[in-house]
Amino acid sequence: MAVNTKAKKVAKTATKKVAAKPAAKKTASSARAAKGPKYVYTWGAGKADGDGTMKPLLGGKGANLAEMTRIGLPVPPGFTVTTEVCTYYYANKRTYPATLQAQMEAGVANMEKIMGTKFGATSGMPLLVAVRSGARDSMPGMMDTILNLGLNDQTVVALENTTNNPRFAWDCYRRFIQMYGDVVLGVQKREGEDHEPFETVIHAFKHERYHEDIEDSKLTADDQKELVKRFKDLVKERTGKVFPNDPWDQLRGAAGAVFGSWMNDRAIVYRRKYNIPSEWGTAVNVQAMVFGNTGENSGSGVAFTRNPANGTNEFYGEFLVNAQGEDVVAGVRTPEPVIKLKDVMPKSYAELLQVRKTLEKHFKDVQDIEFTIQEGKLFMLQTRNGKRTAAAALKFSIDMVKEKLIDWQTAVLRNPADQLEQLLAPIFDLAEVKKAKVIATGLPAGPGAATGRIYFNADRAVVAAEKGEKVLLVRVETSPEDLRGMIAAEGILTARGGVSSHAALVARQMGKVCVCGAAAVAIDYDKKTATIAGQTFGEGDYLSIDGTSGTVYAGQIKTAPSEIIAGLLDGDKAAQATEKFKSYAQLMKWCQQATRMSVRTNADTPEQTRNAIAFGAVGIGLTRTEHMFFEGDRIDAMREMILAETVEARKAALAKLLPFQRSDFLGIFKELKGYPATIRFLDPPLHEFLPHTKEQQMDLARKLGIAVEKIMARVHELHEFNPMLGFRGCRLGIRYPEITEMQARAVFEAAVEAKKAGVKANPEIMIPLVGFKKELDLQVEIVHATAKAVQSETKTKFSYAVGTMIEVPRGALTADEIAKTAEFFSFGTNDLTQTTLGMSRDDSGSFLPPYTEAEIVKKNPFATIDQTGVGQLMEIAIAKGRSTRPDIKLGICGEHGGDPDSVKFCHKAGLAYVSCSPYRVPVARLAAAQAAIEEARKAAASKAAPAKGKKK
Ligand code: ADP
Ligand code: MG
Ligand code: MG
């Protein structure tokens, strides 16, 4: 705080000096600024200190404002206070670096020079500024922008006099006090209040003077003046302090609020969802104001250079005449589609179309822009890569290759791997939709089909979703407070708001199905009902929404697979002819071209195998043989085996299981058509197979003709305190070698039968949970002996491999020894994570959330590989394994194999393949291709860099 007071004094004298001798002051402060680190980066009049590559330092908004300035677009001048100041601020008890004030003064001076105005001027045109947050990645709705800063009781008169537009001047001042009061001074809704306090004041005033709720734009200059007075009284009453009159006090306060908002709840929730580290910090942008609220010749708007919902190459957005800032997205007045600008301001529209072209050509990607028109003159206020649905991302990438804006490798990178599943999401069943009743339509803001029980409030939606209900969140409009509910819901329906409303924005980003602005939906929050087309729906009732067309249906509608699924898995010809299917096929072809690592699947049945191959899998990375024991009567034979008291009895039971396993393997081999199949031998604790209720036990006793007490005793015997670390994995085969023998026989006999049927089987037998070389040796011995026996019995040769899963730390650490026996390693990262972290995955629900909250773990380690810990063990195992068996085959079969970040890690670590569940195969293929492309680009860049250096 000491810094602040001192800075304030400096500021005051500096401002006074400015008025007298601007040139002298500028030199003084630039000299001062030059001494310390550079905290302030200016832009304006075609020049900028920063550029678009400096997002970590300047934030996304600041970096692109600099970039737009550099390429000659009309951007009001300003400066960015860097993210380093945010870091400093939190590291130093919320104070600022000593040299910051002087650097900001230089920044303000630069703006004054370009604009020909003065900050705090009481005669002539005062410089007003916008104070805008700007994190590295945009965080919609999280941070608050303050407009018209610099206005006070004196400067507002100067503004009124110079513009000769009192309504405008007092509108600006009124807006400023409201925004500043809310964001910086914290004059907000208190518990028990239904409305924002400033809005309550406006409401009361309108009724007092006009006896009705007139539009804000109808308020006269005198009305605004009166509101300014009442707003200030409100601030005084709520905060006990007078509204700051000094522009520099205002500016410092606003900057502090931006930095402060980095740690507000909404920002934290958002960062957690998108894994943005809190260390990144936010920048603050201070920019000269331009005014969209001077009258009918002005306005402001937002647009995308192409349609971000479905990818169509059309200018897409909306604007409002005589409006400022967030008016467009606030949903108070309904904005016009941006193409209508053509009629009202043709010159500005033509200019805007030119900007659209320039931006796409320069950034080579679809841009999301904000602009303001002041008296017919266009100003660009923001550009960033537009958030998009997976469908739009796919279409953009394919189209831009055709347009020669990007190459195919870039196109592959443009499709976020973790969004790809959206394309596979179901659509409504066509026949069912025909029968369903359309009750409303809105804007198609997030494609896909969603059906669920409706809730009108985020908290109740979350609770219902936690209970396992499919939920639709239905709101008049959404705000950042609804984020949790939106995350929990299948889809979002709003009654108000356009394509740039909060709901649309968030839905696009999260890939949620969303219909917004469905005006026919009349919501009564108090009664918890929505009346639509004369029908009333209460909470818990079903609605269905189609976010691709914007349609709202009554009741529940069955969904059907997406065109991609229908085309790939069912061979549906009509689906294969759709643009979506063809684009997907093109993308996967490119992936194929780029990738080094291949993708296998985790599959236990012929059907799963067939699906995975249709998705592009080239083998099975994990077949869990025990899954085969649960089907039909098989479980009885399995239980008999477990209950057996002698080797002979056990062998007899195993003999019953053998034909089942053999035929399962044969089915899988046939689907694989020569692709390899990694088959894991029995792994889970035996008690998982036994009946646990008295009734089930009696039933089994009857079936097997033994006493129920015997079963109970065995269940008791097999009970473990810690089954995860208990009698499981290869420990089973060590104690009961006949199990291993039966399984090996089933595999080999199936291989022989496959061969007879003209299919080459390629089995890779995998022994689980190996920590000691000797464990593996003992099991491998049985496998080899069985192979020999089957080959001589059937007089048929077949090839196979035996390897192990690396899933306990000791296995990883002694991988050099183990690799002497193992022909391949497959990383079982589920267990490896459990045993490395000493955390049980199934029990982690109770303690992992606070761990993520406190950022002890950045991501759930059971979903994304913990690279520093578990990843390190993998790297050790890879290096050691290769030291004794240089050509050892390496793969991964844990759940992580379908997680894009983990796939990229596996690529870097040098694995030959990843394996994941069938529906994740496309995601893994995309991630694997992206890893290869990124690696190639890095290599090319580091090759190119030294060459450049030499030239200089
Ligand atoms: P957000 O990150 O929430 O989009 P912005 O900083 O982009 O916040 O500001 C929101 C809106 O405020 C902009 O879309 C624009 O309409 C308005 N605005 C921002 N800066 C200026 C400016 N210099 N002049 C006029 N309006 C501005
Ligand atoms: Mg905003
Ligand atoms: Mg913005």
Strand partners, 598: 913
Residue 29 has pLDDT above 50, yes or no: no
Ligand 1: residue of 58, 69, 128, 132 to mutate (most ligand atoms within 8 A of CB) is 132
Which residue CA neighbors atom 10 of ligand 1 most closely? 325
Percent of the chain's residues with pLDDT above 90: 72
Q: How far is the CA of 144 from the centre of ligand 2 (A)?
A: 6
Structure tokens at 598: 């291949």
In this prediction, residue 34 has a pLDDT band, given cuts at 50, 70 and 90, of low
Which helix (DSSP H) or strand (DSSP E) does residue 925 occupy? helix 921-951
Percent of the chain's residues with pLDDT above 70: 95
Cβ contact 167:226 at 8 Å: no
Q: What is the pLDDT of residues 301-344, one digit of tens each?
A: 999 999 998 899 999 999 999 999 878 777 677 789 999 999 99
Q: How far is the CA of 368 from the centre of ligand 2 (A)?
A: 14
- Residue 24: predicted pLDDT: 40
- Residue 947: predicted pLDDT: 54
Distance CA 551, CA 150 (A): 46
Residue 27 has pLDDT above 50, yes or no: no
- Residue 292: predicted pLDDT: 95
Q: How far is the CA of 258 from the centre of ligand 3 (A)?
A: 14
- Residue 805: predicted pLDDT: 97
- Please say if 692 is a catalytic residue: no
Cβ contact 287:525 at 8 Å: no
Which residue CA neighbors atom 20 of ligand 1 most closely? 130
Residue 19 has pLDDT above 60, yes or no: no
Q: What is the per-residue burial (b if ≥16 Cβ within 10 Å, else e) of 697-712?
A: beebbeebeeeeeebb
> Counting beta carbons within 10 angstroms of the beta carbon of residue 760, is it exposed (0 to 12), middle (13 to 18) or buried (19 or more)?
middle
- Residue 581: predicted pLDDT: 96
Q: Which atom of ligand 1 is nearest to the CA of 144?
A: 3
Q: How far is the CA of 246 from the centre of ligand 3 (A)?
A: 26
Q: How do 282-288 and 299-304 pair as beta strands?
A: unpaired
Q: What is the per-residue burial (b if ≥16 Cβ within 10 Å, else e) of 925-939?
A: bbbbbbbbbbeeeee
Q: Which atom of ligand 1 is nearest to the CA of 133?
A: 6
Distance CA 629, CA 651 (A): 16
Cβ contact 201:235 at 8 Å: no
Cβ contact 768:828 at 8 Å: yes
- Please say if 893 is a catalytic residue: yes
Q: What is the pLDDT of residues 258-286, one digit of tens each?
A: 898 888 887 888 888 778 888 899 999 99
Residue 617 has pLDDT above 90, yes or no: yes
- Of 688, 677, 693, give the one whose Cα is nearest residue 603: 677
Catalytic residue among 893, 906, 907, 916: 893
Q: Which atom of ligand 1 is nearest to the CA of 300?
A: 16
Q: What is the pLDDT of residues 682-738, one digit of tens each?
A: 999 988 888 888 998 999 899 888 999 999 998 888 888 888 899 999 999 999 999
Residue 28 has pLDDT above 80, yes or no: no
Q: What is the pLDDT of residues 175-221, one digit of tens each?
A: 999 999 998 999 998 888 888 899 999 999 999 999 998 888 789 99
Mean per-residue pLDDT for 375-380? 96
Distance CA 527, CA 175 (A): 33
Q: What is the pLDDT of residues 526-537, one digit of tens each?
A: 999 999 999 999
Span of 94-103, 172-181, 268-277, 633-642 with lowest mean pLDDT: 268-277
- Residue 140: predicted pLDDT: 52
Distance CA 700, CA 824 (A): 40
Residue 483 has pLDDT above 60, yes or no: yes
Distance CA 131, CA 150 (A): 10
- Closest ligand to C-alpha of residue 384 is 3
In this prediction, residue 504 has a pLDDT band, given cuts at 50, 70 and 90, of confident
Ligand 1: residue of 68, 183, 370 to mutate (most ligand atoms within 8 A of CB) is 370
In this prediction, residue 925 has a pLDDT band, given cuts at 50, 70 and 90, of very high
Strand partners, 678: 764
Q: How far is the CA of 257 from the centre of ligand 3 (A)?
A: 17
CB-based contacts of 806, cutoff 8 Å, min separation 6: 770, 812, 815, 818, 825, 826, 827, 828, 832, 874, 877
Residue 7 has pLDDT above 50, yes or no: no
Ligand 1: residue of 131, 133, 145 to mutate (most ligand atoms within 8 A of CB) is 145
Residue 145 CB neighbours (<10 A):
19
- Give the Å distances, CA to CA, from 366 to 334, 342, 506: 25, 21, 17
Which position has the higher pLDDT, 181 or 138?
181
- Residue 354: predicted pLDDT: 97
Q: Report how far Cα 921 is from the mean position of its chain's Cα atoms.
A: 19
Q: What is the pLDDT of residues 779-838, one digit of tens each?
A: 999 999 999 999 999 999 999 999 999 999 999 999 999 999 999 999 999 999 999 999
Q: How far is the CA of 496 from the centre of ligand 3 (A)?
A: 20
Q: Tokens 């699947």, residue? A: 601
Which position has the higher pLDDT, 421 or 181?
181
- Closest ligand to C-alpha of residue 502 is 2
pTM to 2 decimal places: 0.82
Which residue CA neighbors atom 6 of ligand 1 most closely? 132
Q: How far is the CA of 163 from the centre of ligand 3 (A)?
A: 26
- Residue 729: predicted pLDDT: 96
Q: What is the pLDDT of residues 883-897, one digit of tens each?
A: 999 999 999 998 899
Distance CA 690, CA 140 (A): 52
- Closest ligand to C-alpha of residue 285 is 1
Structure tokens at 942: 């580091």
- Closest ligand to C-alpha of residue 132 is 1
Q: Mean pLDDT, the chain, as a whole number? A: 91
For the residues of 632-671, what is the DSSP string, one character each? TTHHHHHHHHHH--SHHHHHHHHHHHHHHHHHHHHHHHHH
Which residue CA neighbors atom 16 of ligand 1 most closely? 325
In this prediction, residue 635 has a pLDDT band, given cuts at 50, 70 and 90, of confident
- Residue 306: predicted pLDDT: 97
Q: What is the dihedral of CA 269, 272, 274, 276, to 10 degrees?
A: 110
- Residues in contact with ligand 1 by the CB-under-6-Å rule are 76, 130, 132, 143, 145, 147, 287, 289-290, 300, 325-326, 370, 372, 381-382
- Of 599, 696, 454, give the one whose Cα is nearest residue 918: 599
Q: Which atom of ligand 1 is nearest to the CA of 141?
A: 3
Strand partners, 369: 303, 383
- Residue 952: predicted pLDDT: 38
